Amino acid sequence: MADSTDTRDLPKQSRRNILDVMEIDTRLLGMIGAFIVICVVFDVWTGGRFLTPRNIFNLTIQTVSVAIMATGMVFVIVTRHIDLSVGAVLATCSAFMAMTQVVWLPQSFGIPLGSPLIAPVAILIGVIVGVAIGAFQGWLVGYLTIPAFIVTLGGLFVWRNVAWHLSNGQTVGPLDPQFVSLGGIEGTLGVTGSWILGALVSALAVYLLANSRRNKIGHGFPVKPVWAEVAIGAVTIGAIMGFVWILNSYDIPTARLRRMFEARGEVMPDGYRTAYGVPYSVLILIVVATVMTVVAQRTRLGRYIFATGGNPEAAELAGINIRFLTVKIFAIMGLLCAISAVVASARLNFHSNDIGTLDELRVIAAAVIGGTALSGGIGTIYGAILGALIMQTLQSGMAMVGVEAPYQNIVVGIVLVLAVFVDILYRKRTGD
C-alpha cells in the first residue's frame, strides 16, 4: 500500500522539483502566458493582422514611453508612495523641449532647426526640468511630510497647465529632425545594426547568467544544473533574436525609400528593399531598463529603496535617510518623465496640449500589473515593462477590432482590478 502511494506522488513531486530546480518565477511565467494568449486571440480575431511585423513594430514604439516611466514608478510604489503627476510632468518637459527647438533657440540665438546643437540642448533642458520638478515634489513629500498622493495630484493640475502656458495652448512643431529620429519610425538601427544589437544583448544575457552562477558557487550557494542554465539561456537568446527578426521583417515602403534616396540626391536602384529594424526608442528603453535593474539589484540605493518599502521604521532605525531617499526617488521619476517626453513628442513630431494625458494611470497600471505591490517592498523592472506591453497590446488589439476608446478604458480598468486581485491571491498562496 505504501509503495502504491509513493508511485502516485512521484509525477506531482517531479513537476514541482523541475520548477524549483530551474528557479522559474511562476508569476512572470503567468504574465508571459497571458500576453501570448492575448496576442493569439487578437490575431485570430483580426484575421492574422495583429501579429504582423508592421503591427508588432508599431506596438513596440507605442509601448516605449509608458514603459520607461513604469520603471521609475516601481521605485515610487515600492517605497509606499504614488505619483499621479507623471503625465503632466511629461507634458511640461515636452513643452520646454519643443519651445527650445522651435522658438527660443531660433529666435533668440539664431540657431535654426537642423543644427547639431538643437536636439542635445533641448533634451538637456527637458532633463533638467524633469529632475527639478521630481526633486521638488520629493522634497514636499519627504521633508514637509505632505502625502505623495496630494503632492502629485496637485502636480497633475499644476504641471499640465504650465505646459499649456508655455505653448500658449498651441501645437508646437515640426521638431528638429535629429530629435524626431528618437521617436521610433524616423530613426532605426537598420537590418545589420539590429542583428549586431541582438548579438550583443544575447552575449550580455549569457554573461549575466554565467556570472550569477559563478558568484553563487563562490559564496557556497546552491546552483541550478547545467542543463537548466543552458535551457534558460537558449530561451532568452531565442526571444531576443526572434524579436530582432520580426522587426527586421518589416520592410520600408518603396515610396518612402525613394524619397530617402532623393533627399540624398541619389536614384534608388531597381528592386531595392530594406527593413526598418530596431527603433532608437527601443534602444533607449533597453538602456533605461538595464540601468534601473542594476540600480535596483546591485547598488546601495536599490537596497535602501526596497528596505524602506519593506519596513520604513526599521530602515530609519538602521540609519537610512528616508527623507533624502524620497527626494532621490522622485528625482529619478522626473528624469524618466523627461526621457519619455523625448520619445513621445519625437514620435508625434510635435508637442500638443494633450500629450501624456492619462499616462499617469497607464504607468501605475503597468507597474501594478507587472507585480509591484501597493503595500510596498516588492517590485521588478522587467515586470513593469511587461505590464506596459500587456496594457498596450490590449488597447491596440481592441482598436484593431473596432472597439471604441471608452470601452477600451473599461476593459483596461477591469484588467487592472483583476490583476491586483490575482496578485493578492498569489502572494497569500506563496507567503510573500
Looking at residue 68, what is its pLDDT? 97
More confident residue, 215 or 286: 286
In a domain, 386, yes or no: yes
CA separation for the pair 308, 75 (Å, rounded): 11
In a domain, 19, yes or no: no
Q: What 8-state DSSP symbol labels residue 100? A: I
- Percent pLDDT > 90 in the chain is 66
Nearest to 333 by CA among 356, 363, 362, 355: 363
In a domain, 21, yes or no: no
Among 278, 309, 344, which residue terminates a domain?
Answer: 278
Residue with cell 502656458: 165
Q: What's the total number of domains in the chain?
A: 2
Question: Maximum distance among all alpha carbons in the chain?
Answer: 91
Q: What is the pLDDT of residues 25-54, one digit of tens each?
A: 777 788 888 899 999 999 999 999 999 999
Domain, as residue range, for 104: 26-187+290-430
Average the pLDDT over each of 54-68, 75-89, 365-379 and give the range with the smallest value.
365-379
**One domain, residues 171 and 240:** no
Among 278, 311, 344, which residue terminates a domain?
Answer: 278
Looking at residue 431, what is its pLDDT? 62
Q: What is the pLDDT of residues 403-431, one digit of tens each?
A: 888 888 888 888 888 877 877 777 777 66
pTM over the 0.85 mark: yes
- Percent pLDDT > 70 in the chain is 94
CA separation for the pair 120, 101 (Å, rounded): 10
Does the structure show a pLDDT above 90 at 66? yes
CA separation for the pair 162, 369 (Å, rounded): 31
In a domain, 13, yes or no: no
CATH code, 146: 1.10.3470
Looking at residue 19, what is its pLDDT? 58
Q: What is the pLDDT of residues 164-222, one digit of tens each?
A: 999 998 999 899 999 999 988 889 999 999 999 999 999 999 998 888 888 888 888 88
Does the structure show a pLDDT above 80 at 347? yes
